[in-house]
Amino acid sequence: GFDSNIVGTTDYADTADSDVIVVTAGLPRKPGMSRDDLLATNAKIVTSVAEEIKATSPNAVIIVVSNPLDAMVQQMFKVTGFEPAKVIGQAGVLDTARYRTFLAMELGVSVEDISALLMGGHGDTMVPIPSCTSVGGIPVTQLISKERLDEIVDR
């Protein structure tokens, strides 16, 4: 019901007075590297970004997708001083979408038909809960063998 103007930039002046800012800043994980290995380096990067956002877009909602996500969301919140509802991480949404997608591919159904619950922090501690997962109201454990479901959960 409204028009949007989406800008990708490295110049904070271009983002001044933004309503929503998606932060992707930080180094990516390399093979064999844990999310925790990124903590110190990406915390410095996110701190710098947070200071710029605070100065240029003090009323923005910030969506953080930098890893390690939970720690970077907390760092963004701490540095900006924004109210909690304005600093958001997308880990649970992302992980749930992945799980639902893998199940939909396996069953040949729409992701819209799948209801799922995941618990834990984003990363290696995020765990899908098959007993709380259903497809069109039918428990997924009745539709996929335990062995195959375990493979999907591991993925």
Residues labelled as active-site residues: 122
DSSP string computed for the chain: ---------S-GGGGTT-SEEEE--SPPPPTT--TGGGHHHHHHHHHHHHHHHHHH-TT-EEEE-PSSHHHHHHHHHHHH---GGGEEE-HHHHHHHHHHHHHHHHHT--GGGEE--EESSSSTT-EE-GGG-EETTEEGGGTS-HHHHHHHHH-
